[in-house]
């Protein structure tokens, strides 16, 4: 697979809710901190988006799409000067796959999905994403328009199988929104997603993901990028945020932890498949990156298994509402 597909496979996104929000008049809603990725598509009308830790609010217009990967508290409002209402008050009556109406509706409509991330190291990977991914150019919005319009139809008509169709559309929108964001270029951002947009860095990262067991050297990766060793080392660190060899080790350990969690492969099989000649060398690298030895990691998984039902029960009541899902829904174009 390609690097973006690799990372999303480890994130294991599951669409938890897909829904719509129809607002009228003046309104302001505050959404609390949450886990997962929220994805929106503005179908009609305009509003302001403010995210904790981001200096400037973003003006959203019909057709705009946005992702909120970091789980930070945020607000949506027709007017930033209004006193916000807590989301759980507005969305308590919502149902999965439905449309929530507020103040009579008619002026602003939003659709989207909330993604629960099933991967054990989701926070590590999403921390490399920007707090807001905003898709707004006409060409990019057009690329998402069909999926948004189809999701609207499924939510409104509530035909048999509609929820499943909406979830598949949400996953497609998630991937497409990330693609479009990558295509916009680096724009000074740091992280693996920004780096994939750079031809030279993308070539080196793709090589690592294609063959993580290979004994990559800095010189070999530089050659893949078509750069000198010193220039490559500097640019990789500036673009990705970590040295190239640290990225290689971290990716190997994320793959290893996924296999420890989701397969019966012993360490004696995992270690050589990721480029380590001995179990001890692999265990040393794993503990340095993951903070625990592979065996301790496996024991912890056994004594503290992930319970999907408990995880879902832990989600805030707001996140269980239809619009909350919409809040977390993909930014798509209308």
pLDDT at 105: 92
pLDDT at residue 111 in the model: 83
For the domain that residue 294 is a member of, what is the CATH number?
1.10.10.60
pTM over 0.85: no
Most trustworthy range by pLDDT among 64-73, 108-117, 181-190, 256-265: 256-265
Q: Looking at 2-11, 259-268, 304-313, which range is the least confident one?
A: 304-313
The pLDDT-based confidence of 312 (bands split at 50, 70, 90) is: very low
Within-domain flag for 31:
yes
Model pLDDT, residue 1: 64
Rounded CA separation 324/91 (Å):
7
**Backbone phi and psi for residue 28, each to the nearest 5 degrees, phi listed first:** -155, 130
| DSSP type of residue 95 | -
Residue 183 makes CB contacts below 8 A (sequence gap 6+) with 140, 197
pLDDT at 309 over 50: no
Would you place residue 160 in the very low, low, confident or very high pLDDT band (cuts 50, 70, 90)? confident
Arithmetic mean of pLDDT over the chain: 79
> Are 25 and 156 part of one and the same domain?
yes
The pLDDT assigned to 174 comes to 74
Q: What is the mean pLDDT of residues 125-140?
A: 74
Is there a domain that residue 239 lies in?
yes
Domain match, 23 and 132 both? yes
Residue 272 domain-assigned?
yes
Does residue 239 share a domain with residue 181? no
With respect to residue 2, please indicate whether it lies within any of the assigned structural domains.
no
In a domain, 61, yes or no: yes
Rounded average pLDDT over 136-149: 73
Q: How confident is the model at residue 49 (pLDDT cuts 50, 70, 90)?
A: very high
Percent of the chain beyond pLDDT 70?
77
Total number of domains constituting the chain: 2
Q: Is residue 5 part of a domain?
A: no
Judged by average pLDDT, the poorest of 22-31, 111-120, 269-278 is 111-120
What residue numbers bound the domain in which 243 lies? 192-303
Cβ atoms 80, 28 nearer than 8 A: yes
Q: Give dist(CA 326, CA 111) in Å, integer.
A: 5
Is 1 within the bounds of a domain?
no
Evaluate whether residue 311 is within a structural domain.
no
pLDDT tens string 191-246: 667 777 788 998 999 999 999 999 999 999 999 999 999 999 999 998 888 899 99
Q: How far apart are CA 59 and CA 292, in angstroms?
A: 44
- Integer angstrom CA distances of residue 253 from 212, 249, 258, 332: 10, 6, 8, 34
Mean pLDDT of 137-163: 75
HSE-up of 281 (CA within 13 Å, CB side)? 9
- Is pLDDT above 70 for 310? no
Cα 79 to Cα 315: distance, rounded to the nearest angstrom: 28
What's residue 140's pLDDT? 72
As a whole number of angstroms, the longest Cα–Cα distance in the chain is 66
Q: Give the per-residue pLDDT at 304.
A: 59
Q: Alpha-carbon distance 227 to 217, whole Å?
A: 14
Name the most confidently modeled range: 153-157, 301-305, 320-324.
153-157
CA angle 166, 171, 175 (to 5 degrees): 145
């Amino acid at each position: 697979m390609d690097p973006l597909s690799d990372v999303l496979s480890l994130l294991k996104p599951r669409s938890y809710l897909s829904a719509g929000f129809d607002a009228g008049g003046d309104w302001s809603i505050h959404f609390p901190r949450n886990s997962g990725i929220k994805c929106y598509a503005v179908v009609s009308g305009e509003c302001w988006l403010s995210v904790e830790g981001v200096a400037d609010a973003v003006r959203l217009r019909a057709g705009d799409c946005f992702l909120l990967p970091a789980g930070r508290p945020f607000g949506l409002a027709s007017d930033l000067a209004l006193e916000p209402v807590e989301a759980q008050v507005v969305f308590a009556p919502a149902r999965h796959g439905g449309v929530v109406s507020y103040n009579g509706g008619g002026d602003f409509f939003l659709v989207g999905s909330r993604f629960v991330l099933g991967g054990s190291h989701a926070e590590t990977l999403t921390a490399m994403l920007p707090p807001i991914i905003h898709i707004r150019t006409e060409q990019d919005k057009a690329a998402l328009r069909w999926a948004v319009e189809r999701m609207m139809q499924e939510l409104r008509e509530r035909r048999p199988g509609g929820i499943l169709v909406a979830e598949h559309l949400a996953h497609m929108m998630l991937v497409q929104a990330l693609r479009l964001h990558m295509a916009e270029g680096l724009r000074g951002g740091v992280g693996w997603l920004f780096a994939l947009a750079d031809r030279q860095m993308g070539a080196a990262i793709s090589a690592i993901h294609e063959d993580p067991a290979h004994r990559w050297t800095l010189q070999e990766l530089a050659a893949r990028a078509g750069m000198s060793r010193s220039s490559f080392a500097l640019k990789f660190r500036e673009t990705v945020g970590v040295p190239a060899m640290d990225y290689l080790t971290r990716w190997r350990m994320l793959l290893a932890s996924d296999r420890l969690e989701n397969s019966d492969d012993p360490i004696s099989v995992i270690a050589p498949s990721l480029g380590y000649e001995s179990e001890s060398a692999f265990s040393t690298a794993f503990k340095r990156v993951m903070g625990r030895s592979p065996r301790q990691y496996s024991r912890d998984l056994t004594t503290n298994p992930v319970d999907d039902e408990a995880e879902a029960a832990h989600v805030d009541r707001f996140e269980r509402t239809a619009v909350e899902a919409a809040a977390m829904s993909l930014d798509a174009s209308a």
